């Protein structure tokens, strides 16, 4: 048994920096505006698997954004000390960029494997945006 199984994904830097922490993974895209509460650092979308779970300090792994420009509230959560430690996502646009710029946390996209398939909630993840690498230690 290999208990310390490490997986490395390669991707593109969106926002620089290196951080490590526990993953919080959503297979469903994240929606902003009224469906995220920046002050509490939680998703409020009624159908969302992560509804009500704090993303504070987590490596937030998701397929991409959907909906309103209010997506930036994921970055705005920084103002309330509730922000994720990093963003790891399959495909984004300028809304995910703005969220990372506002939170000033590492962000990586366009990875060589689907991060929402490879990473599970609770895995220990190192995000090194400068090197474009995500290193996963399975829980």
Partner 1 sequence: MYLTDEEKSMLNGDHGEIKQRCMQFLVDYGEVAGAEHLIDLDGNVDLHPPYGNWLGDYDVSYEEVVELAEIGEKFKVPTFANKAVNPGMIVDGWEKIDLEPFTNPEFRMKQEEMMKPYMKMGMVPILSCNYYLVSSYTPTVGQHCAWVESSAIPWGNAVLGARTNFDGCFQTAYLGKVPAYDMHLDENRKATVLVEYMDELKTDMDYDLFGWAVGEMVGLEVPALIGVGKPTTSQLVKMNTSLNTGGQVRMYHVPGLTPEAPTLEAAFSGNYQRKIQLGRDDLRKIYDKMNYASNDQVDFVYLGCPHYNIEEILKVARLVDGKKLKATMWITTNPSSYKVAKDMGLIEIIEKAGGNVLSGTCPGILGKLPPSTVMATDAAKQNYYINGIYQDLHVWYGTTEDCVESAIKGVWQGEWK
Contacts with 85 (C-beta within 8 Å, 6 or more apart), sequence order: 19, 20, 21, 57, 58, 59, 60, 105, 106, 127
Do 134 and 21 form a contact (C-beta atoms < 8 A)? no
Instruction: Give exposure, 1-23, as e/b (b: 16+ Cβ within 10 Å).
Output: eeeeeeeebebebbbebebebeb
Q: Is 94 in the site for partner 1 (CB under 8 A)?
A: yes
* The only residue of 60, 62, 76, 111 in contact with partner 1, by rule CB under 8 A: 76
* The only residue of 5, 10, 39, 69 in contact with partner 1, by rule CB under 8 A: 69
* The only residue of 19, 64, 124, 137 in contact with partner 1, by rule CB under 8 A: 64
Q: For the chain, how many residues are written?
A: 139
| In the complex, least distance from residue 45 CB atom to partner 1, rounded to whole angstroms | 6
Q: Is 45 in the site for partner 1 (CB under 8 A)?
A: yes
Q: Is 86 in the site for partner 1 (CB under 8 A)?
A: no
Do 105 and 15 form a contact (C-beta atoms < 8 A)? yes
> Has 77 been annotated as catalytic?
no
Q: Is 11 in the site for partner 1 (CB under 8 A)?
A: no
DSSP 29: P
* The only residue of 72, 86, 119, 136 in contact with partner 1, by rule CB under 8 A: 72
Q: Is 27 in the site for partner 1 (CB under 8 A)?
A: no
Q: Which residues are catalytic?
A: 68
């Amino acid at each position: 048994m290999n208990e310390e199984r490490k997986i490395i994904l390669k991707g593109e830097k969106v926002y620089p920096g290196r951080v490590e922490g526990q993953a919080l993974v959503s297979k469903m895209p994240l929606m902003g505006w009224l469906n995220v509460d920046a002050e509490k650092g939680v998703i409020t979308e009624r159908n969302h698997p992560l509804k009500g779970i704090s993303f504070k300090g987590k490596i937030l792994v998701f397929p991409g954004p959907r909906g309103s420009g209010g997506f930036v509230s994921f970055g705005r959560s920084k103002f309330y000390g509730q922000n994720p430690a990093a963003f790891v996502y399959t495909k984004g646009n300028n809304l995910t960029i703005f969220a990372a710029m506002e939170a000033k946390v590492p962000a990586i996209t366009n990875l060589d494997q689907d991060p929402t398939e490879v990473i599970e909630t609770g895995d220990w993840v190192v995000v090194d945006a400068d090197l474009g690498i995500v290193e996963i230690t399975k829980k």
